[in-house]
Amino acid sequence: MKASIALTAAAALVAKASAACFAERLGYPCCSGNEVVYTDNDGKWGVENGNWCGIADAPSQAACWSLSQGYPCCSSSNAEVWYTDASGKWGVENGNWCGISTGSTGGSTGGSTSGGNVTPSGEQYTISGNPFKGVEFYINPYYVEEVDGAIAQMSDSSLIAKAEKMKTYSNAIWLDTIKNMQSWLEVFVVYDLPGRDCHALASNGELLANDGDLARYKSEYIDVIEGHLKNYKSQPVVLIVEPDSLANLVTNLESTPACADSEKYYLEGHAYLIKKLGVLPHVAMYLDIGHAFWLGWDDNREKAGKVYAKVISSGSPGKVRGFTDNVSNYTPWEDPTLSRGPDTEWNPCPDEKRYLEAISKDFKSAGIESVYFVSDSSRNGKKVDRKHPGEWCNQTGVGVGARPQASPVSGMDYLDAFYWIKPLGESDGTSDESAARFDGYCGHETAMKPAPEAGQWFQKHFEQGIKNANPPL
């Protein structure tokens, strides 16, 4: 597969979705026929069902070089250019790569802050400051395809309109198996440690907590990522690193034997990846710090400062830009109804904003030099129905939150971005009690049921999330 690494928290740069014809980029449908009623600088227009529609230029099969490489031709010679290599210009349609006919001037290009095409060669890019700032965000064509599948199951026109808007926002692509890394270059949530997610069953990974699988993690996973990143040195990349792993070392070593068994591999895995990937000047890495109702208490934050400082130091000379919070969780950014008291188990940080304000000071006191944050706002727009803030699985009452944005909060210069790291609509875990990966949390009262396996599409949860979006879609 052709690859364009762009700025991601596993996703990347460039905010325009693929289009089957020029009209879709302008908010009009493509025509099913080819009768021309009007022509302007954008292209040829027709009228169908009383509305304007764009007429796609028929691709020249003779000039469409991609057929010989096993890829179809794009439906229009004016298709948006997503990637250029020695073969020609590539577009994306229906979640797949397609070749743009020879002689096309192409649409707007993606994947580069300068507006040029993304190629493996080029001058070395160096990130300076907030990597989310001053760039456009890449639209994940695979998520667009998932949402299109969801729309096909809807009949409510207002709900369909909201779902269509979801396709215009960037989100992260999760890299959760070795196979995915060798097939996709667009996946940048690094998530495959041996003994992954040691305190939960729903998202356990393929690698076990043993020396042999640690060797595989290094050679078949991190080294492969490193090779791809070195090949695409001319554009910035963001990596969200191993959600939940280090937070488990802060709180669950004594209570969960699987976490004690995984400790060595979590530490060695982080040290290795920071050494390998943290020295690349076009890469910015963020380590996961759980959420407000995991590490928000004073003693947890103090211990976390020591754990994270040790981990970052172990990866020297590699550098870490900062940390990511609320990944795959539901804790609101601000919740003025909560304060330190019995309802919050005396947590002084009952929302993500107060959590980041506090932990930024703790981490600096622990000697961590670079303390910046990316906050996952994909599912925290509405306070969910959970009766305990530790509930994490497919919570009812979900609403998509703040849109992806760099430097979103005035006065918080250490907040690099709000970003959609966990794609709304992808399940947290199955509610099937007979399943091997069933976790009791997915059977709790406020967990939506029936739910599919983690990562699989959950239509009902997606529909509720877009209905409850805050701000509204």
Show Cβ contacts of residue 135 under 8 Å, excluding neighbours closer than 6 positions: 7, 13, 113, 236, 406
Nearest of 462, 467, 460, 369 to residue 414 by alpha carbon? 369
Contacts of 246 (CB under 8 A, 6+ apart): 266, 270, 287, 288, 289, 304, 307, 308, 311
- 59 prior amide bond cis, ω within 30: no
Local structure of 284: helix, strand or coil: strand
Please indicate whether residue 244 is annotated as part of the active site: yes
Q: Give yes or no: 197 in active site.
A: yes
| Alpha-carbon span 429 to 204, nearest angstrom | 10
Quote the tokens at residue 225: 């990522």
> Is 428 an active-site residue?
yes
Is the previous residue joined to 450 through a cis bond, with omega within 30 degrees of 0? yes
Catalytic entry in 57, 176, 192, 197: 197
CA distances from 133 to 13, 127, 407 (A): 11, 10, 7
DSSP class of residue 13 equals B
Give every CB contact of residue 378 below 8 A, 6+ residues apart in sequence: 171, 400, 401, 419, 420, 421, 422, 423, 424
β partners of residue 457: 426
Burial class (CB in 10 A: 0-12, 13-18, 19+), 56: buried
Of the listed 192, 288, 362, 428, which one is catalytic? Answer: 428
Residue 437 Cα to chain centre, angstroms: 23
Q: How far apart are CA 257 and CA 155, in angstroms?
A: 48
Active-site position among 57, 176, 213, 244: 244
Query: In DSSP terms, which residues pair with 405 in a beta bridge?
Result: 418
3-class secondary-structure state, position 73: strand
CB 83 within 8 A of CB 90: yes
Active site residues per annotation: 197, 244, 428
